[in-house]
Chain A
Amino acid sequence: MTAPPLPKQGPEISYREAVREAIREAILGDPRVFLMGEDVGRYGGCYAVTKGLLEEFGPERIRDTPLSESAFVGAGIGAALGGMRPIVEVMTVNFSLLALDQIVNNAATLRHMSGGQFEVPLVIRMATGAGRQLAAQHSHSLEGWYAHIPGIKVLAPATLEDARFMLGAALADPNPVLIFEHVMLYNMTGTLDGAGPVDIRSAKVRRVGRDVTLIAYGGTLFKTLIAAETLAKEGIEAEVIDLRVLRPLDTGTILASVRRTRRAVIVDEGWRSGSLSAEVSARITEGAFWDLDAPVERVCSAEVPIPYPRHLEEAALPQPPGIVAAAKATLGR
Chain B
Amino acid sequence: MAEFRMPSLGADMVAGTLVEWLRRPGDRVRRGDIVAVVETQKGAIEIEIFQDGVIERLLVEVGTTVPVGTPLALVSGIGVGAPAAPTPPPLRPEAVVQAPAPRVPIPGPQVGRPLASPAARRIAQQFGVDLRALRGTGPGGAIVSADVEQAAKAPRRFDPAEMRRAIGAAMARSKREIPHYYLSTTIDITVAQRWMEARNAERPPPQRLLLAAPLLKAVALALRGSPELNGYHGERGFEPSPAIHIGVAIAIRGGGLMAPAIHDVDKLGVDELMAKLRDLGMRARSGGLRSSELSDSTITVTNIGERGVEAVFGIIYPPQVALVGLGKPMERPAVIEGKVLPRRTIVATLSADHRASDGHRGALFLAEMDRLLQAPEQL
Contacts and interface: CB of A to CB of B under 8 A. Distances in A.
B139 A290 contact: no
Nearest to A330: B139
Contacts of A332: 136-142, 144
B118 A290 contact: yes
A293 B140 CA distance: 11
B119 interface: yes
Contacts, number: 42
B145 interface: yes
B226 interface: no
Nearest to A285: B118
A269 to B, nearest CB: 25
Contacts of B285: none
B145 A294 contact: no
Contacts of B141: 332
A196 B45 CA distance: 64
Nearest to A259: B119
Nearest to B147: A293
Interface string B120-155: 111000000000000011111110111000000000
Contacts of A329: 139
Nearest to A262: B119
A262 B139 contact: no
B117 interface: yes
Interface in B79-137: 117-122, 136-137
A291 B138 contact: no
A294 B139 contact: yes
A289 B122 CA distance: 10
Contacts of A331: 138-139
Secondary structure at the A interface, as helix, strand, loop or mixed, is loop
A331 B120 CA distance: 14
A295 interface: yes
Nearest to B148: A293
A330 B139 CA distance: 6
A292 interface: yes
Q: What's the dominant secondary structure at chain B's contact region?
A: helix
B122 A262 contact: no
Interface string A168-209: 000000000000000000000000000000000000000000
A290 B317 CA distance: 50
A294 B142 contact: yes
Contact of A289 (B118, B120, B139, B145): B118
A114 B193 CA distance: 98
Contacts of A289: 118
Nearest to A292: B118
A294 B138 contact: yes
Given A262-B144, A262-B145, A295 B139 contact: yes
A218 to B, nearest CB: 28
Q: For A262, A295, A331, which residue has the most chain B Cβ atoms within 10 angstroms?
A: A262
A241 B142 CA distance: 26
A294 B144 CA distance: 8
Contact of A290 (B122, B138, B140, B142): B122
Interface string B172-190: 0000000000000000000
B117 A294 contact: yes
Interface in A285-333: 289-295, 329-332
Interface string B314-357: 00000000000000000000000000000000000000000000
A291 B148 CA distance: 13
A295 B140 CA distance: 11
Nearest to A297: B139
Interface in B160-218: none
B119 A291 contact: yes
A333 B263 CA distance: 54
A331 B142 CA distance: 10
B119 A292 contact: yes
Interface in B216-249: none
Contacts of B140: 332
Nearest to B145: A293
Contacts of B119: 262, 290-293
A255 to B, nearest CB: 13
Nearest to A333: B139
Q: What are the 9 A-B residue pairs with the smallest beta carbon separation, nearest first? A: A293-B144, A293-B117, A332-B138, A332-B139, A290-B122, A294-B139, A293-B119, A290-B118, A292-B118
29 contacts: A262-B117, A262-B119, A262-B145, A289-B118, A290-B118, A290-B119, A290-B121, A291-B118, A291-B119, A291-B122, A292-B117, A292-B119, A293-B117, A293-B118, A293-B120, A293-B142, A293-B145, A293-B146, A294-B117, A294-B142, A295-B139, A329-B139, A330-B139, A331-B139, A332-B136, A332-B138, A332-B139, A332-B140, A332-B141
Given A293-B120, A293-B138, 16 more contacts: A290-B121, A291-B122, A292-B118, A292-B119, A293-B144, A293-B145, A294-B117, A294-B138, A295-B139, A329-B139, A330-B139, A331-B138, A331-B139, A332-B136, A332-B138, A332-B141
